[in-house]
Structure 1
Amino acid sequence: MERIVAKFGGSSVADANQIKKLRSIVDHDLRRRIVVVSAPGKRHGGESKLTDLLYLCQEMGAMATSIDEPFGLIRGRYMEIAVDLNLDQTILSDIDRFGEELTAGCTPDYAASRGEYFSARLIAEYLGAEFIDPAEYIVIRANGTIAPESYDLLGARLANLDSRYVMAGFYGRDRNGEVKTFSRGGSDISGAIAARAAGAACYENWTDTSGILMADPRIIDNPRPIDEISFREIREMAYMGASVFHDEAILPVREASIPIRIKNTNSPEDPGTLITATLSDKTISSTEIAGIAGKKGFSMISLEKSLMNREVGFVYRLLGILSEQGVSFEQCPSSIDSVSVIFEDEKLRGLDDVLIDQICRQLQPDNVAVEKNIALVAVVGEGMVRTVGIAGKIFGALGKAGINVRVINQGASEMNIIIGVSDDDYEATVRVLYEVFVGQGKQS
């Protein structure tokens, strides 16, 4: 029997009522044999994130400060879920032992992982499923990538097609056997690993939205959902700020050609968004673009030098300077006598003065300048390369709206066009582009 891996995010396991919805969803389709869960999410705006509380407890424990208050909130969340689901409360003794580990001084990764660990323990008991601790099967290398043997180890554990499994998301172990977490939101990655290890027919990602939206709902009111999108398109959108799906979670399932379906736990009847390797001709022909995504907080260093194109190794040496300082870049648009490098401010880490000093000393440009407060907006779509006039639409609409474009860059695949504008023009840019490609709608 083919199987589906169903990953449920924090909002989907926030309390007993949400976990009951999870059970209804899993029971509705017998192919949903493998469930991956996050830590319980926030129930209301004023509540602290459980993972933040876990990190706080670890820091306080390391400083020999009492953790009673934040740990009491953590323990209370799990106790409330156990009571409301009529579960055996013996797990509370394990949570109390974890409190002792926090006080004694455990690692930040171990502390943070317990959010998912105890969530999965409770849900496995509620579903009558086998609990899987990913630290026994998923090996995370020093650079954060998955060791190839993880798929065989986890696949062997998931081999019984008739069993139901519940696995904690967000963590595995390092080569030394110590618990190691993914980046925040990494339970998406855990679900993708489980799907590939099990040879799943589909990887379902259950969240609190009915699929991926064509634009940020904080800017566009009720943006149109995306019915179908390719792995390449969603990778571009996730990287540029679309927050529904962790961009690093795409690779494991993409390599195995396993489709992803984004679904809404609160509206399971909604079709959601299908992410697949190859789009149908109908999908490509029916939409000019897949979506619009972007984010603020970039800086740009621009260099000018006459006859730069004849100076062999100029860009190589420029990128070498960035490598020496441990700074990664986002975009690198260029022309015959100029080149610019765009950085996320948090990755630049205030090193712009150091970089400029090194650039001037090693490359001797005619001019170098730094521009801050830049936002990048990407228009993404597989069909853009086949559609005449996409660029004209973009820049005509922005020009008509009086928005000054500071950066233009198009990927080699011609699947996206990236526009750089002032941070102050970011929201207006998204609104204008959404209107020109999707149509007039209510906008916030």
Structure 2
Amino acid sequence: MALKVTKFGGSSVSQASQFRKVKEIVEADPDRRYVVVSAPGKRCSNDSKITDLLYLLDAHRQYHVDASNVYKLIRDRFVEIRDTLGLKQPIEKELDTMYASLSSMSEMEIVSRGEYFCAKLMAEYLGFPFVDAADVIRINHDKSIDWEATRARLKAIMNEHDHFVFPGFYGTAANGKIMVFSRGGGDVTGAILANIMEADIYENWTDVSGFLMADPRIVRNPQPITHITYSELRELSYMGASVLHEDAVFPAQENNIPIHILNTNRPQDAGTIIQETSLVPRKYPITGLAGKPGFLSIYIYKKHMSNEVGYMRKVLSVLERYNVSIEHIPSGIDSFTVLVNGAEVEDSLYEILHEIKRQVAPDEIKVQDHIALVSTVGKSMSHQPGNAGRLFEALGREHINIVMIAQDSNEINITVGVSEKDLSRTIEVIYNEFVVD
């Protein structure tokens, strides 16, 4: 028997009808014995996620504003799920106790209750034991996982239960207080369990059938990605093509556990399998592409720069002091360009430029803003000569000006910088070059 950790996102548990789909999915495969759930998400476009309502509840608490209307929305959502499914969980009592205790609760504890109450209801509905993440997941103050403590607690739980429902998103610190991950952290919880349990597969059920080769808002009916490596996923996710919380990759990758992205509303779809090695042949030389606007470049020129030891380091240290992350550094003999996120220097750009001039006295310094980055990703590219040439030739034919080029040393990623106004067209051109027959 295989061991599967199965995680259901907020859209998969948003209401009673979604709970029924979850039950059908779990009961369809006896290997799905360990279930992780998020807090209920939106039921429709103008609805609210339970976690958002809990953050709002906490804001009312902090500013001493009456929160009864917000609390009623939260309470009604859970009670409606309970009553529609005919469950017996006396959830009103715990919810009312929480509301009465708001003044003594931390923000993290309040916002974690969406997953907590959802898991309680799901456990009864599936007939599984409920295991509280607060009793298992140990989180250090820097938000990293205390793997030793978490492993010991989870192994003990597994000795007691061969199946359970587990709330995602939170754990406890060494002092016993609730701590939460960043939004979407339920994905991370599932990956932690999969790692420690040495699962055969980690299923992540959401409201899309896996990853697509390009943004469907830009490319009409893009091809699905059936298989992708962890490293390819990281490259695409960084540029915004995200279905999975990026921190969920590492615990699974460490034990080479495949992550299977699946659609709760269309369980028959193949989805996307994420693993480092795959025997499935690739139809196209690229795996996918994604783009993101909002970047800015600082070009620095200095005669005989190559003879000045530490010149680039001095420039980068200025950006470090202003807490600015570096995206790319294309360089020449006497010049280099630092590409940064424009939002990170929005309030400090002139101070940064002044400090660079003071520190290294460049002969020329120029700033170009409104740059978009487009990453073309594919492990197959490194084995097929000429792909970079095809990409640049295709953009040239369409008169798209490239302001920056960067290629990963493993040759799985070619990133180009273009004007923001050319972002969508760049993605279309590259997609049509490599994917459309």
TM-score normalised by length of structure 1: 0.94
Shift of residue 73, structure 1, vs aligned partner: 1.3
Q: Deviations over 1:292-319 (max 9, x none)?
A: 1121222222222222222112222222
Indicate yes or no: 2:284 matched with 1:287.
yes
Q: CA RMSD in A?
A: 1.8
Assess, with a 3 A threshold, how the Cα gap between structure 1 residues 385 and 70 changes in structure 2: closer, same or farther: same
Identity over aligned pairs, percent? 44
Q: Deviations over 1:170-222 (max 9, x none)?
A: 11223332211111111111110010111111000111111111111222232
Provide the residue aligned with 2:206 in structure 1.
207
Pick which of 151-160 and 104-113 moved more. 151-160
Provide the residue aligned with 1:136 in structure 2.
135
Matched residue pairs, number? 437
Preserved contact between residue 39 and residue 115 of structure 2 (Cα < 8 Å): yes
Indicate yes or no: 2:251 matched with 1:247.
no
Preserved contact between residue 171 and residue 178 of structure 2 (Cα < 8 Å): yes
Structure 1: how far apart are the matches of 2:48 and 2:397?
A: 44
Indicate yes or no: 2:397 matched with 1:417.
no
Structure 1: how far apart are the matches of 2:141 and 2:257?
A: 26
Preserved contact between residue 132 and residue 166 of structure 1 (Cα < 8 Å): yes
Counterpart of 1:391, as a letter, is A
Provide the residue aligned with 1:82 in structure 2.
82
Assess, with a 3 A threshold, how the Cα gap between structure 1 residues 332 and 96 changes in structure 2: closer, same or farther: farther
Shift of residue 158, structure 1, vs aligned partner: 4.2
SS of residue paired to 1:206: strand
Shift of residue 144, structure 1, vs aligned partner: 2.7
Assess, with a 3 A threshold, how the Cα gap between structure 1 residues 183 and 224 changes in structure 2: closer, same or farther: same
Indicate yes or no: 2:315 matched with 1:318.
yes
Shift of residue 20, structure 1, vs aligned partner: 0.7
Structure 2: how far apart are the matches of 1:6 and 1:113?
A: 20
- Equivalences for 1:187-198 in 2 at 5 Å? 187-198=186-197
Provide the residue aligned with 1:95 in structure 2.
95
Shift of residue 151, structure 1, vs aligned partner: 4.3
Structure 1 spans left out of the alignment, 5+ residues? none
Provide the residue aligned with 1:343 in structure 2.
340
Structure 2: how far apart are the matches of 1:238 and 1:150?
A: 30
Provide the residue aligned with 1:372 in structure 2.
369
Indicate yes or no: 2:335 matched with 1:334.
no
Provide the residue aligned with 2:300 in structure 1.
303
Counterpart of 1:366, as a letter, is D
Assess, with a 3 A threshold, how the Cα gap between structure 1 residues 153 and 221 changes in structure 2: closer, same or farther: farther
SS of residue paired to 2:115: helix
Assess, with a 3 A threshold, how the Cα gap between structure 1 residues 154 and 398 changes in structure 2: closer, same or farther: farther
Provide the residue aligned with 2:356 in structure 1.
359
Shift of residue 362, structure 1, vs aligned partner: 1.2
Preserved contact between residue 332 and residue 339 of structure 1 (Cα < 8 Å): yes
Indicate yes or no: 2:391 matched with 1:391.
no
Shift of residue 93, structure 1, vs aligned partner: 1.4
Counterpart of 2:340, as a letter, is F
Preserved contact between residue 62 and residue 105 of structure 1 (Cα < 8 Å): no
SS of residue paired to 1:131: coil
Structure 1: how far apart are the matches of 2:193 and 2:235?
A: 23
Provide the residue aligned with 1:22 in structure 2.
22
Q: Deviations over 1:244-275 (max 9, x none)?
A: 11111100010011111111111111111111
Pick which of 106-115 and 389-398 moved more. 106-115
- Equivalences for 1:207-226 in 2 at 5 Å? 207-226=206-225
SS of residue paired to 1:6: strand
Shift of residue 396, structure 1, vs aligned partner: 1.4
Q: Deviations over 1:374-420 (max 9, x none)?
A: 21111001111111211122111112222221111111111100111
Structure 1: how far apart are the matches of 2:320 and 2:174?
A: 27
Structure 2: how far apart are the matches of 1:168 and 1:395?
A: 47
Structure 2: how far apart are the matches of 1:129 and 1:76?
A: 24
Shift of residue 283, structure 1, vs aligned partner: 2.2
Shift of residue 434, structure 1, vs aligned partner: 1.2
Counterpart of 1:427, as a letter, is S
Q: Deviations over 1:406-443 (max 9, x none)?
A: 11111111110011112221111111111111117xxx
Structure 2: how far apart are the matches of 1:154 and 1:234?
A: 31
Indicate yes or no: 2:188 matched with 1:181.
no
Shift of residue 89, structure 1, vs aligned partner: 4.3
Q: Deviations over 1:350-382 (max 9, x none)?
A: 222222222111122222222222211110011
Structure 2 spans left out of the alignment, 5+ residues? none
Structure 1: how far apart are the matches of 2:252 and 2:27?
A: 24
Structure 2: how far apart are the matches of 1:69 and 1:349?
A: 38
Q: Deviations over 1:40-97 (max 9, x none)?
A: 1111111122222211111110111111122211111111111111112411211122
Shift of residue 154, structure 1, vs aligned partner: 4.5
Pick which of 357-366 and 197-206 moved more. 357-366
Structure 1: how far apart are the matches of 2:232 and 2:133?
A: 29
Preserved contact between residue 129 and residue 163 of structure 1 (Cα < 8 Å): no
Assess, with a 3 A threshold, how the Cα gap between structure 1 residues 208 and 66 changes in structure 2: closer, same or farther: same
TM-score normalised by length of structure 2: 0.95
SS of residue paired to 2:24: helix
Shift of residue 131, structure 1, vs aligned partner: 1.5
Preserved contact between residue 372 and residue 420 of structure 2 (Cα < 8 Å): yes
Provide the residue aligned with 2:166 in structure 1.
167
